[in-house]
Every structure is written in structure tokens, then in C-alpha cells.
Chains A and B, each alone.
Chain A
């Protein structure tokens, strides 16, 4: 059997001592899990190693840790896979470290209780509570069971796969800088109810999460949560769906400039074909029109960024022509683009493909929910959902 060097980060915040690495040589099969190795150490060498675990089948979500820098469940990560991984992301063995070395650390963005156990209550569960994580029934409640259209339940299937392990919270780069960010797990949970036709408070939920300055518009699109999730929930994609519902469907103009930014971006690409940054900025603050630059909110922002703008102009980063008129595609192409925009934007139902549901044609098996017959090509709109609810 191969031998692995298991390095466990040990820390007891009540001890007054600094954290340290505890090294153990463990002989186990390549397809044993990292949790098997940790438990072997705990059972045979040092009973004081702190690790939370229960089902050992990737269902309970208890054993979230970082393995060679990447968050995940210790119970469904093979030793061979963890050892082959480089630090951060990727597949290279850690530089300078022996092949077969696995560093196990507690998850990030949450305080450590002891060793590999983090305080999920202090961060993860608190944020889950923040998004009202339960269904608020439409009234009056029907006498018999509520029949939910299949299409709607398929839509929220992906978020329902979440096992609350906290791996996405661990490596959220927005939360690392802004600990108040509601975060990927809780926002994915929010979509579970926003996408459910039985819930009565879609608009209130979306308004709340748009207006919160640490809400849906605080996500940076870093994709860390998508890579971290052991259940393919893709929390970032759920956040983007919340934005789509809030902005495109409910037209919620939030105080964080989230919807204005999106609206201006789409309009500018329609009108210019290319992004016109000089127009995008004032419109993100002052509203989606050429006159936005004269809006007090845009003026205030321009004033606070004046030194940046002046330096940029002086260095020749932006020519006056680009700053004033932007760059445009040839007229024939712009006409074609306008046709495309009109055709798509005027559809009564939005067309979306979710590969989590449809799977990939070349795959022997779809990723999940093999029973969906529509091949995942699904149309949805706020209006269609309100009809069904």
C-alpha cells in the first residue's frame, strides 16, 4: 500500500499556543479517503486530533476541510487525488514537498474551534438564517397538496443538492475581504425559495437581497465556490440567477448599482457592439442614459475618482475620442446585433440551458436528474411562474 505523509494543522485557541503542523506517515490504499487517514491517525496514534464527521458517505456534510489548499469533504476525496493536487488549485505536487504529502487544514473564513473543526454557527449557519431559509406559504393554503409544476422543481433541484458543508464559504474570496457578505451557501439557499412557486415572498426576498450592500451584488464572479462544492450546486450560478430574477424580471433598482450596471452594460453592447467603459461608469451610478453623467450620484463618484481619471488621461490610457465617443462596430454588424437583441429580448419566455440538469451529450450519464425529459432546455419567466403559482 502507498505511504502518505499526512500533515494535520493543529490548533487549540484556548491554549495560547500557536498553530503547528503534526506529521504522520500513513499507509492506506490510493482509494481510501483523506478522512480514513485522519481517523487512522486519531484511532491509532493520537486520540486528541479534532475532526467533525459522521456519515462518511458525502451526505451529512460534516467533514469539510482544506486538503492541499482546496476545500472539500475529507470523506469523498481519495488520498491519491488529494496528494496529486497542488496548493491553491491545480494538479502539481506541492513544490519541495514529497509526492504523497497531504496537508489538511480547517476550512477558511470561519473561526477554528479546535484543529480541523470550525465554528459553523458563527458564520455559515448565521448567514443561512439571514436569508429566511424556509417556505412562506401563499395564502390561502390549498385544502389538498400543492401541485408544483415539474419544470419548477427541476429548476431548484441544483440548490436542493446542497448538504451545508461550508466548503464554498471556506474559499469565498468576497467574504475573505468583506466578512459581512451573505455568501455563496446562503444565497444558493435563497434561490431554492425564490425558484419555488409555492413561496409567497419572491419579490420581498429579491428586494432584500438586492438592497443589502453585502447581498447578491457583492459576489465577484471568482468561481471559487463552483470549484469547491462537492455536490455541483454551483452557488455562483445561483447568485447570477437571483440577479437575473431581481434585475431582468422584477426590475429592482438597488442602491448598490447592481441592476443599473447590468442594464447599462447590456444597452451599451447593443448600441455599440463593444463595451464603452467611459459611458458604463456614469450610467452604473446615475442610470441608463447618456445624461447619467450629469446625475448627482455619477458626479459624486466622478469627483472621488478624479485623480484616477486625470492620471489615466495624462498617461494616454484613454484618448479623448474613446472617452467621448467610445468604440463601435461597423454599422452592418450593429444592425445585425440589434436584430439579435430584439428577437431574444422580446421572447415571452427566457431560454436557458442548465448543464447540471441536461448533462453533456458525450457523457455516458448526465450529471444528475436523469429523468428530465426536456433535455434541460427550459424556458422560464417571471410571468410563466406567476401563472403556475
Chain B
């Protein structure tokens, strides 16, 4: 399957292992990625906070570039991008007059956004396009006995109506389903749908770190071996900032946090190092030990 691929900014900045692991995993999922290397930042809600027309124009430009490719749909690997882009797309798709006005801003480049682009985070694509049965069939190293806490964050599950979460598309359960399809054990804990705190890290650092620290602590108390996130910004607060979060909440933490393609890659037989797991601040020792023991225990 060919997709117009939007990696976002942070996966090519402070979490390079996310972009890298996606590149490794894609061929195993029979995904051909056409990278949108001319597209701009989604604005992460901050540009919309500054000027809605500007945010909508930047994202309409990205959508128009995606529509110029022969990809079946657009795929992202960042739930903040998903949320910010879905918000802009909702406005663009809802009103012809407004869409025309935004398209005027793209006229100099000869770009036009046509209503009705399909833009899916990797998580949605795994379940809705690839399918859980196909995913399970590709597993060569089942995540047996690996206890994984899903951390959805905010942008990929709220608002439910805008993100089309309904009885047909139970997108708020997809991470649970994917972990199980890969053979892992889902750990439910209080923080599954909470905020990592990243958006206020520069405004209220204490509250931001307390959020991260509390959710990680809850997952540890629920006996998780690791967390998995669909968002690099969540990863920054939960992994990069984890030592500071531990100080903020006054307890030892040390819980590895995996990006979604890393978790998929492990189950599909890739090695932790080639998935960039050595770049994590919290060393994913428990996950690597698990992986080594599974490999050692596998029949030759």
C-alpha cells in the first residue's frame, strides 16, 4: 500500500528514532512511504491559537501536497499532528466558501485542497487498512509476557466526534487491540487517556512534570514493563523528561517508553538497536531483556 507520509517535525528533530523506526517497519507492513518533504509544521494547535487562517492554510497546503501523490491516503506518525490537522480539516471540509478562501492562499503555488482527504495516524492505519489479522500473521516474535501500558494521550482520542470515534471505529481501543494482536499483554492503568503534560512544559513545568510522573508511576504500580505512545511529544515528556518527572513526584520511575512503530518492529522481528531504542533516555533494559530471552528461547 502506497501512502503519502507526513512524519511531522519532532520525529525528525528530538525523537529521530521514531522516523527511523517507521522507515524500518514500513516494508515489513508492505507500506510504501511517499514522504511529504515539502510540507510545513502542522502548528500543533499553537499556530491556530495565534491565527486560525494561518494554521488552516499550512495544513491545507500539506493536504494538497498529499493529494498530488498517488498514495491511497495520507498517514502520520504523530498524534499531535493528527489532532491539529483533523481540526483544520474539519473546518475546511465543512464550508465551501471558507475552503475556497484558504485555497486562495495556496494559489501562487498552484496548489488546491479538494475536500475529503483521508488522513490516518499509523495506529488507525494498522487496524483499519492493514487489519489486525494480517498484522498478527506478520508477527515473528510475539510479545508474549511483555506487559505493555497503552498511553493514548489527547490528540488521537479527543474530541471523539471530530476524530470519528464511534461504535464502528473504536479508535480509542486500537492501541489495546494492536498490543494484543502482537501477542502482548495490555496493562490498564489510570493514565491511559490522560495528558502527558508536554503542552505546558514551558508555562507550568511543575504541573507538566507532575502529570508525566503520575501516569508513569500509575503504570509501574499496575505492573507494566513499558509504555507505548503514538505521539513523539508524549514521548518527550514521558521519556526525555522522565528523570525530572521522577524528582517532581518524589519517587523512582525508570519505565521504558516505546514509540508505536518500535513496538510493532519488535514483534515483526527487528532488533531493539535498529529501532533506535538506544536513543531513549530511560534505557529500555526490561524490553531488551525480554527480547533477548524470547530470541534465546525461540526454536532454531
Contacts and interface: CB of A to CB of B under 8 A. Distances in A.
Contacts of A214: 204
A243 B241 contact: no
A90 B170 contact: yes
Contacts of B3: none
Contacts of B67: none
B211 A358 contact: no
Interface string A345-371: 101001111010011111000000000
A355 to B, nearest CB: 6
Given A377-B97, A377-B98, A92 B50 contact: no
Given A177-B214, A275-B44, A350-B52, A222 B154 contact: yes
Contacts of A318: 13-14, 16
Contacts of B9: 274-275, 277, 327
Given A220-B200, A266-B46, A340-B54, A227 B158 contact: yes
Contacts, number: 240
A221 interface: yes
A173 B58 contact: no
Contacts of B241: 308
B50 to A, nearest CB: 5
Interface in B110-166: 154-155, 157-161, 165-166
Interface in A311-364: 311-312, 315-319, 322, 326-327, 329-330, 333, 336-337, 339-341, 343-345, 347, 350-353, 355, 358-362
A281 interface: yes
A322 B260 CA distance: 23
A373 to B, nearest CB: 12
A336 B48 CA distance: 19
A177 B167 CA distance: 31
B6 to A, nearest CB: 11
A358 B94 contact: yes
B53 interface: yes
Interface residues of A, number: 85
A77 to B, nearest CB: 15
A202 B287 CA distance: 54
Contacts of A326: 13
Interface in B1-45: 9-10, 12-17, 37-38, 40-41, 43-45
Contacts of B200: 174, 217-220
A274 B158 CA distance: 25
Contacts of A174: 195, 200, 207
Interface stretch (A40-48, A125-133, A162-170, A254-262): A254-262
Nearest to B193: A88
A305 B195 CA distance: 21
Contacts of B83: 223
Contact of A351 (B41, B53, B165): B53
Interface string B210-232: 11001000000000000000000
Contact of B105 (A220, A344, A352): A344
Given A90-B165, A312-B281, A318-B14, A256 B204 contact: yes
A22 interface: no
A55 B147 CA distance: 48
B173 interface: yes
Contacts of B244: 305, 307-308
A261 B203 contact: yes
B184 interface: no
B291 interface: no
B219 to A, nearest CB: 15
Contact of A274 (B12, B61, B280): B12
Interface of B: 9-10, 12-17, 37-38, 40-41, 43-54, 57-58, 61, 83, 90-91, 94-98, 101, 105-106, 108-109, 154-155, 157-161, 165-167, 170, 172-173, 192-195, 197-200, 202-204, 207-208, 210-211, 214, 240-241, 243-244, 278-281
The 5 residue pairs across chains A and B that have the minimum distance between CB atoms: A223-B158, A90-B172, A275-B9, A222-B195, A284-B202
11 contacts: A88-B172, A88-B193, A220-B208, A227-B161, A240-B48, A266-B46, A269-B43, A316-B278, A317-B14, A326-B13, A352-B53
